Amino acid sequence: MDDLIHGPVTFDHRQLDDWILVRSDGTPTYNFCVVVDDATMRIKPRHPRQRPPVEHAQAGLCYEALGYPVPALAHVSMILGSDRTRLSKRHGATSVQAYREQGILPRRW
């Protein structure tokens, strides 16, 4: 697979194991949903976080198996916050438990 940032990404097919697409309770896994969602919404190129080459391969093979074109990928390095922990959309957010400990109760409608 080609990566818009890192160039060609190669892997050994022997590194691939069975990829779980659906859990035993019948719900699809996140990695499977991402492929279907991105393909049906025509998201391209994708800019996922940096991850092992085996995961690139599994996603690419899933796109191909479902008959979707494999999108261009641009894997970016993990972005860290000022506290050197992984930055996320909830970074620095106050937890519900912290609000409870401060005595702030939920509104009653």
Q: What is the DSSP string of 21-65?
A: -B-TTSPBPHHHHHHHHHHHTT--SB-PBP--HHHHHHHHHHHHH
**What is the reported pTM?**
0.62
Confidence of residue 45 (pLDDT cuts 50, 70, 90): low
Residue 22 has pLDDT above 90, yes or no: yes
Give the pLDDT band of residue 51 (cuts 50, 70, 90): low
CA distance 108 to 74: 45
Span 68-102, pLDDT tens digits? 988 877 777 777 778 888 777 677 777 888 888 88
Strand-pair partners of 58: none
pLDDT for residue 29 is more than 80: yes
Q: Torsion angle, CA of 22/28/34/38, rounded to 10 degrees?
A: 110
